[in-house]
Structure 1
Amino acid sequence: MNRLPSRATPSRGFTLTELAVVLVVVALVLGGLLSPLATQMDVRMTAETRKDLADIREALLGFAVINGRFPCPAAATTASGVAGAGLEAAHDAGGNCPNASGVVPWVTLGVPETDAWGQRYTYRVTPAFAQRVSPPRSAAFDLGTAGTLDVRSATVGGTMVAGGLPVVVVSHGANGRGGYNRAGVQLPNGEVVDEIDNQLTNAGTAMANAVFVSRARNPDSGFDDEVGWVPRAILVSRMIGVGKLP
């Protein structure tokens, strides 16, 4: 006797509710994985930028030892690859920099053009320390001239972190606000007053004042700048060490 073929039991698919639950679980798992990854990336990029700032400081000190002055700022609005990009600006007939503010002259110094987030480093120099001079050095190095730049922990009511500085260098952090990119274009203004205090004005040739803000990074507050500088004491010590100062 031949048996009739058994009818296959239809497989039961997922309901919309079950699919929704699965998608929620997957989203939670991915979110839990991506958050630590983003934190790790931020830590790595911050460390890379701080290393750049340390290298820039050494390059500035080396330039000062060789030339007896600091370099003029490079033009912030010149796009990468265009003639003159990354070179220190030419001095005027009186031996002065055309502007005390701009971006780090990365070609002149042989340092990275941008921070880890792709924005150029803002650079401000005390004019007396960047005057073109005959060897061996600017008079400011000899006369004990103090720099005109200060770094505080906040724009309003902040404590002094470092004062009388010849030069200050700023990375505008992960949000890049106030910084210039490789195309020579400035990103939107900073989100908070401390960040605004660190950015360039007047098409990248000036700054609001001579006070910069360096404090613990707090991206949640909108402030994520990294600030470096050359203390005058280190400059003098380096010059003495190579016999350029008595």
Structure 2
Amino acid sequence: MPEHASGASSKLIVESVSKWFRTPRATVHALDSISMQVAAGEVVCLVGPSGCGKSTLLDIIAGLTKPDSGHVLADGHLVTGPGRQRLVVFQEPSLFPWLDVFGNVMFGLKLCPELTNDGRREIAHRFLGLVGLEKFERVHVHELSGGMKQRVALARALAADPQVLLMDEPFGALDAMTREHLYDDVQRIWRDAGKTIVFVTHNMREAVCLGDRVLLMSQAPGKIIQAFDIPLPRPRSIYDVELVGYAARIADALRGTVGGGVPE
């Protein structure tokens, strides 16, 4: 499958998006006419060298940054700003330290004014259970490990029931063992909640472990230069021989465009 999924089933359509950043000293061309589609329920991973515009593209999809040309459609509607249908989980969880775990998830549910307070509480309990934190609801965030904080951030985003979950290197600062546990969590959540996910990473095995497709971006100005289907059965382990082979092929493709070392 190329970087374009079937238009009829697309949850997201990115069409000819370009972005420049202007400062008094220079103009930086970050993205160059990027087009891609993401099908409903699909997990698409974006990989590429540092500074290629992966996070900028994610911000544009989220509506946090406006493109200089082109546009993004979500469920056929033009994205003109942020909205609860497209929520971002960042590398830093950005939790509220004065609230406990339950309070952080409840705060996110303020995006859902149609819910009663009892309804919000039921949803918060359910999604904390989904990420395995049901026994930590009354723990304050400063008492949590990095992986547990990221689980809280994930539960907070999922509880608001976004149509698209955007994940910007959410596991990059975590140790290897914690990351592996969270890979299992994301695959289980994808299976149980059926969310459409766009996931940014530098790690090739992580991309192959989580993605239905992996899109490889070039050095800035970022373009999508190659797409890889990942037809491996789930759940996946980063130690699977076939998975390692896919990751090596993607790393080789990236190495061919930038030279030097590439994290596999």
The normalised TM-score by structure 2 is 0.22
Bigger fraction of residues in strand? 2
Rg: which structure is higher? 1
